[in-house]
Structure 1
Amino acid sequence: MSPRTEAVTATYLGTATVLLRIGDLTLLTDPALDPAPADYPGARPLHRTAGPALAAAELPPLDLVLLSHDQHADNLDTTGREVLGRAARVLTTPEAAERLGGRAEGLAVWESRTITSGATTVTVTATPARHGPEGTEQVTGPVTGFVVAYEGGTLYVSGDTVRHDALAEIGDRFRIDTAFLHLGDAHFPSTGDRAFSMSAAEGAALARTLGVRTVVPLHYDSWDHLAEDPARIAEAFEGDPEPAVRLKWLRPGMAENVR
């Protein structure tokens, strides 16, 4: 008898927000669910140009939220915070967990938690991430990625990160089937040419480093600071050597198989 493999579907809500169904377990990533247009003041003001594909009221009960960080509205906004309060469990950075309280649990890098819903069990491991050039950590704050291992496969959610050497260890520790990569080449007028998320070219290079089979692009639309043309994503993966990485675009609001 062949080993059991969980069915995995993903519904893209916009930016870094994805609803994932892994067997019996339902999880949401980085809930940014405010309607648009919306403005968020701060040292680097944010402007949202498009709302989510599903409203918070349309979401099913959530077994788990994976929150890469809590400091920026394109990853956690006012409505997203309300959703956190309804989730059974929230995994994030230790610093965010301390600020959020409630059901939020902080994971240090390479620390894991096992979560079971119905007949499905997943193991979530925190992975390295850095939300900007080296030396900006005090400004951008801590951020984390996640590896989710389930029966029959493993997926990676990068969180908001630039490409840096520490990410290579993810490929040493795990065989990644599907990677949800935060792209967009985020830039701000006040920080010049410094990038705060991966470009398409950096995402393609990371996918090759990790030996990923399928890449799902995230974090490339709906906000002014995500200025890279999405067409660059397809171009960056077109020249991949064999075996080629499969690029999987998710249609907003539609549940799609990502295995």
Structure 2
Amino acid sequence: MTEQTERSLTEPLPTADAPHPAGPHPESPALRPLREVRRWPRDFTDRLTAPLPGVRALARIAREGKLRPSAQALLDIPELPFEPGPLPEPGPREIAVTWVGHASWVLRVGGLTVLTDPVWSRKILGTPPRVTPVGVRWQDLPPVDAVVISHNHYDHLDLPTLKQLPPHTPLLLPAGLARWARRRRFTHVTDLDWWEAVELPGPEGPVRFDFVPAHHWSKRTLTDTCRSLWGGWVLTAPDGRRVYFAGDTGYGHWFEEIGSRYPDIDLALLPIGAYDPRWMLRPVHTDPEEAVRACHDLGARAMAPMHWSTFLLSAEAPLEPLRRVRAAWEATGRPREDLWDLAVGGSRVLGEGEGREVG
């Protein structure tokens, strides 16, 4: 990667209302207004940290036929953890997280209910049906105060699920996705560049949402490769406590950068699945060991694994990510209780001093 390309990855792209800065983005970016209508570049290809697979890679995949777990590995499916329970009611200075499955979480932060990459559908385009049920019934959700989306792949941006929300629900999106949402009649839409933030009012004070980089890409149709951005979100409660939602990402330098800009992350929601074959998926999906390393780079106190046990997107055995993440965490010597390896439907509450399990 050239020096010029590396520098471009740490700066926001120019927009019609803000010239491209001459120096690095400030450590504490100014808040953007909600529902702002912006103009973006035609594509975000310069944000890629690795080339996308080409014809040779696709031919190798077709030749090897290694896209899904073996028939023997599928015997794991009945053992996948599924333990739905009632949603917790966190106190005023507590944060609650509930894993719905894949990258979908119900977060209760600063009195707000936030959904991440909500996918309640049984089937998404291009993949087999989910192998574990949704961990929270839609009718059991409290009123949703906001939705954050990491990128536009179908297993993270699910229109049938979003259509179940009132059209005025605040949607916080990566740069370039607001037009997609407005065309589908959502009225409270904000899209952000990396290192930009907005705030939403809550009963305990404003909750801050910072959009941060990831090692990934975007595509939804045959003609829109990298036309919108991708990334993760740092949610900061009024009392300063932080949850990092990584979305979909490979391992790389962004984790240290995020940790330096947002110190004292209390909980990191990190992906551990969809990594085999490694030669192809390494740039865009962390494996369990890399996810544990990313937690260290972030300086996060606790880690909750996600992006496994729901949709079988690659060739590893369904239970392998869980076994490997537990072994990798144990090897670090960190406290076992700081690995929040929840079952689908499981919840945990981050109290003022530590996390406590629910259910």
Same fold (TM over 0.5): yes
Indicate whether 1:247 and 2:334 are aligned. Answer: no
| Structure 2, unaligned runs of 5 or more | 1-90, 218-223
Whichever structure has more strand as a proportion of its residues is 1
Between stretches 211-220 and 77-86, larger displacement belongs to: 77-86
Q: Which residue is 1:76 aligned to?
A: 157
Q: How does 1:101-250 map to 2 (within 5 A)?
A: 101=182, 102=186, 103-131=188-216, 138=225, 142-150=229-237, 151-175=239-263, 176-187=265-276, 193-195=280-282, 196-226=284-314, 227=316, 229=320, 230-241=322-333, 246-250=338-342
Q: TM-score scaled by structure 2?
A: 0.62
Q: TM-score scaled by structure 1?
A: 0.83
Deviation, 1:139, is 6.2
Q: Percent sequence identity over matched residues?
A: 25
| Structure 1, unaligned runs of 5 or more | none
Specify the code of the residue in structure 2 equivalent to 1:121: P
Deviation, 1:197, is 1.5
For 1:119 and 1:139, locate their aligned partners in 2 and report how far apart those are by CA, in whole Å.
37
For 1:162 and 1:28, locate their aligned partners in 2 and report how far apart those are by CA, in whole Å.
22
| 3-state SS in 2 of match to 1:177 | strand
- How many residues were matched structurally? 244
For 2:252 and 2:111, locate their aligned partners in 1 and report how far apart those are by CA, in whole Å.
34
The structure with the largest alpha-carbon Rg is 2
Q: 1:83 to 1:108 in 2, by over 3 A?
A: farther
Specify the code of the residue in structure 2 equivalent to 1:80: T
User: Runs of at least 4 residues of structure 1 off by over 3 A?
Assistant: 83-87, 137-141, 185-188, 241-245
Deviation, 1:252, is 3.0
The 8 Å contact of residues 128 and 145 in structure 1, kept in 2 or not, is answered as: yes
Deviation, 1:10, is 1.1
Q: Which residue is 2:53 aligned to?
A: none
The 8 Å contact of residues 110 and 127 in structure 1, kept in 2 or not, is answered as: yes
Q: 1:84 to 1:30 in 2, by over 3 A?
A: farther
Deviation, 1:47, is 4.4
Deviation, 1:71, is 2.5
Q: 1:214 to 1:160 in 2, by over 3 A?
A: same
Specify the code of the residue in structure 2 equivalent to 1:54: V
Deviation, 1:49, is 2.4
- State the Cα RMSD in Å: 2.7
Q: 1:71 to 1:117 in 2, by over 3 A?
A: same
